A and B are shown apart, each in its own frame.
With several copies, the nearest count.
Chain A
Amino acid sequence: MVNTKVDLLGITLDNPVIPASGTFGFGYEFAELYDINCLGTFSFKGTTRESRFGNPTPRIAECTAGMINAVGLQNPGVDAVINEELPKLKKVFHKPVMANVSGFSVEDYAYTCALLDREEQVGWLEVNVSCPNVHGGGMSFGTEPDAAAEVTRAVKAVTTKPVIIKLSPNVKDIAAIAKACERAGADGISLINTLLGMRIDLKTGRPVIANTMGGFSGPAIFPVALRMVYQVSKAVGIPVVGMGGVSCAEDVIEMMMAGASAVEVGAANLVDPYASKKIVEALPAAMEKYGINDLNDIIGKAH
């Protein structure tokens, strides 16, 4: 019997497989299909202070081995998440959940995280610093070490649970940003969010996505994600959650060898609703195939 149990910042996961934020809603759509308690945990839809409709449609474009989304953080706002979504989730999911938080100012982040930190079922706060910084001229918080560190400090100051900062890959030196977050008190780093991408409709000559560009993810981005997980996990001393293009158990193993302590699965859930469950189930056989008895043995093996 192989061991798939891993520790993520003091909480034991039955396995390292975590559906990624924005691809698993608040768990329901999937709980209707299978018992989602088979997952390590999952990261719920990016939650903001106020409710948001998000961007105009079309918000989705197809790509070779991937997709672009420009959902724009549609969510009911933190109060509705706490009062409506989490109570419903509790009935179908009996493990700590990862709360994914976004914001457009440092205060937004702190406000939303402080509220979610008090929720019993929240195990970790995953702070997505890929949003545009409204006060800082629209550049994303996650593309500047100082801005990312500022968000980290503000969130850490008002929370007690482990804070994982989720980084954007659209930067020159992601390890520098990770290190700034670590110094500012982050308990973990997760990466990567989507790559900025674009498609054009040949029939009209116009961008497919109403907002022109969007976030590119899926199997196509795996080599970039793997490289960044490797770079960041070598640069920091805190746990790293890896993601980007993961679609099978082998990808989970490769991400862990690159340095991930746990692995998120995003777009794969959208094209195969059972993808995360299948990965959990395939993991032991894949481990055996490569002679791995305990996943903890391979974290960062490629370093």
Chain B
Amino acid sequence: MKQTILTVTENAPLTSSVYRMRLRGDIGANRPGQFAEVSLPGLFLRRPISVCCAEGDTLTLIYKVVGRGTELMTRLPIGEKLDVLTCLGNGYDLEASAEKPLLVGGGVGVPPLYYLAKELINKGKSVSVVLGFNTRDEIFYENEFASLGCRVTVTTADGSCGIKGFVTDALPEDADYFYACGPLPMLKALYRAADIPGEMSFEERMGCGFGACMGCSMMTRSGAKRVCKDGPVFKKEALLW
């Protein structure tokens, strides 16, 4: 964990409700699957947002506007300085996959998979990505994953783009390990559908984000774990589903 002051260098919409924010400064050594906790002026608790990319001095976050904090984020101008905790959580286990990792993301679960895909490709793996959205207008980052060299499949619940249905309707056959992030119903469906091992990232309301308050606990096969510190990524076999 690292407490740092970062400067907003980009803050623009990707879709009608999803924004990308780039922050510059001493961002620390972030691993894929880790998250940041952003302090926002006037709000007490920080907001946890996954690391979408971390390169050099630039941290990329992608966030969906859902409430007061994320609405406020959209109004932060370029040049604004933010107090951010970075390098939070365990992150994905890059060594767990053999050769053919499958990345499955739904909605704003997609962003952390981008950084993961990048690192897996750097390791020479053949990466497949399945991205699930509700409808065509909500799609983002399809091209970015393709540019990395991933095999990308998009699903939309209403069929307005890509395969009609859910991510579980479009899982490739040949993957040896999955990495997932998305809404709970998606994670549960994937858990049931996938017969390969894998790991998934969870969300919980957080008090601190670094393991101090026990606000974010989740019961697993090996006892109570903190989503913020022991997670947010948990292996499939740890889940009590």
On whether A and B touch (CB less than 8 Å), the answer reads: yes
Residue ranges of A at the interface with B (Cβ–Cβ < 8 Å): 22-25, 29-30, 32-33, 45, 53-54, 57-67, 69, 71, 74, 208, 218-219, 267, 269-274
Given contacts A33-B1, A218-B44, A270-B207, are A69 and B213 in contact (CB under 8 A)?
yes
Residues in B with CB closer than 8 Å to A53 are 217, 219, 224
Given contacts A29-B210, A273-B3, are A57 and B216 in contact (CB under 8 A)?
yes
Q: CA–CA, A109 to B98, complex, Å?
A: 52
Instruction: Kindly provide the distance from the CB of A263 to the nearest chain B CB, expressed in whole angstroms.
Output: 19
Select from chain A the residue with minimum beta-carbon distance to B216.
A57
Give per-residue flags for B18-44: 1 if the beta carbon is below 8 A from chain A beta carbons, else 0.
000000000000000000000100011
- Between B43, B83, B206, B210, the greatest number of chain A beta carbons within 10 A of the residue's beta carbon is seen for B210
Interface of B, helix, strand, loop or mixed by DSSP: loop
Residue ranges of B at the interface with A (Cβ–Cβ < 8 Å): 1, 3, 39, 43-46, 83, 85, 204-208, 210-219, 224, 229
CB <8 Å contact, A54 and B214: yes
CB <8 Å contact, A59 and B44: no
Question: Could you show 21 A-B contacts with beta carbons less than 8 Å apart?
Answer: A22-B214, A23-B213, A25-B212, A53-B219, A54-B214, A54-B217, A57-B215, A57-B217, A60-B205, A62-B43, A62-B45, A69-B215, A218-B44, A267-B207, A269-B208, A270-B213, A271-B39, A271-B44, A272-B83, A273-B210, A274-B3
Interface of A, helix, strand, loop or mixed by DSSP: loop
Q: CA–CA, A22 to B225, complex, Å?
A: 16
Q: A33-B1, A269-B212 provided; 8 other pairs, C-beta below 8 A?
A: A23-B208, A25-B211, A25-B214, A59-B216, A60-B216, A267-B44, A270-B207, A271-B44
Given contacts A33-B1, A60-B45, are A273 and B219 in contact (CB under 8 A)?
no
CB <8 Å contact, A57 and B3: no
Q: CA–CA, A4 to B215, complex, Å?
A: 33
Q: CA–CA, A62 to B43, complex, Å?
A: 8
Partner of B229, one of A29, A64, A74, A273: A29
Q: CA–CA, A61 to B210, complex, Å?
A: 17
Instruction: Kindly provide the distance from the CB of B73 to the nearest chain A CB, expressed in whole angstroms.
Output: 15
Nearest 6 pairs of A and B residues by beta carbon: A270-B208, A60-B215, A58-B205, A60-B205, A74-B214, A29-B211
Instruction: Kindly provide the distance from the CB of A197 to the nearest chain B CB, expressed in whole angstroms.
Output: 13
Instruction: Kindly provide the distance from the CB of A108 to the nearest chain B CB, expressed in whole angstroms.
Output: 20
Partner of B214, one of A33, A45, A218: A45
Select from chain B the residue with minimum beta-carbon distance to A26.
B212
Q: CA–CA, A46 to B151, complex, Å?
A: 50
CB <8 Å contact, B211 and A57: no
Instruction: Kindly provide the distance from the CB of A122 to the nearest chain B CB, expressed in whole angstroms.
Output: 20
Q: CA–CA, A71 to B211, complex, Å?
A: 13
Residues in A with CB closer than 8 Å to B1 are 32-33, 273
